[in-house]
Amino acid sequence: MQNFSPYPLPVSKCVAKFVPKSLKAIDSMVFQADDKLNKTAMQTTDNVKRLEIMQRIHKSLTNGIRSAKAHTPRTWLKNKALSIEATGAVFNSGQIHHHKAQSFKDELASVGFLKQSNVGTNMGQIPYTVFGIYSIVFPLRDEQGRVVNFYAIGIDNDKTAYLNTEGIYPAYPHSQTRRLYVTENIFDAATLLESKVLDNRDAVISLHDKEMLYQHRQAIESLKHLEEIILIENS
């Protein structure tokens, strides 16, 4: 990402700047709202219970990044010039289900964080694959600020994945937002948060890997004081 000097921002340098009289300006720039993408894969789980499970996962991953043993993920963040405090980053070691009751594993599976594996074990236990194993994880939140999704970046391989299609990173923009930065991906949004360029009436949201989903449009259209949208594009 380039250095930010918000006024003026030349379009020629991969940054589009426009007044949001309508959202057609966004739609014409390859970002297409698709309501179908907003359908969650977790429809079989009661919503209140699902939110509780997501909160438990988030708490566990938060403990993971703050563990004395989490030297490698904290070094990864430092090398990317990111901090836990500014970005909300957490860490998934892949051991969240180890030595846990089957009921807890079933809960993780119900929200897609665990998936049963076809690989057999010699111990007669149910084998699982874990979402975002050994990854830096960023939480996405709903309109009430609750964690509803996770985005993982592999520490060893930079492989990225979303748990589902819900939520916005870092959160829905606050109601007094006048200037909104929109990034193509979560890493760029995290970098912008860390840059400290945002004023009190500024906010940033990340698209779903260049895709504008229903919740992004909903969030933007709800901003009554919005004067400007700045779209950050990667060259």
d(CA 205, CA 82): 17
Within a domain: residue 2?
A: no
Residue 130: alpha-carbon gap to chain centroid: 17
Are 209 and 3 in contact by the 8 Å Cβ rule? The answer is no
The parent domain of residue 217 ranges over 11-37+169-232
Of 227, 129, 234, nearest to 191 (Cα)? 234
Stretch among 32-41, 145-154, 217-226 having the lowest mean pLDDT = 32-41
Instruction: Write down which residue in 103, 127, 162 finishes a domain.
Output: 162
CATH at residue 138: 3.90.980.10
Mapped onto helix, strand or coil, the DSSP state of residue 150 is: strand
d(CA 139, CA 152): 9
pLDDT reported for residue 23: 55
Both tokens of 221, joined, read: 């259209």
Within a domain: residue 3?
A: no
Res. 166: pLDDT tops 50: yes
Query: What's the average model confidence in pLDDT over 154-175?
Result: 97
Mapped onto helix, strand or coil, the DSSP state of residue 2 is: coil
Stretch among 8-12, 13-17, 114-118, 137-141 having the lowest mean pLDDT = 8-12
Instruction: Write down which residue in 162, 186, 212 finishes a domain.
Output: 162
Res. 148: pLDDT tops 80: yes
Query: What's the average model confidence in pLDDT over 224-231?
Result: 96
Res. 29: pLDDT tops 60: no
Task: At 49, give phi and psi (nearest 5°).
Answer: -65, -40
d(CA 59, CA 22): 39
27 — pLDDT class (breaks 50, 70, 90): low
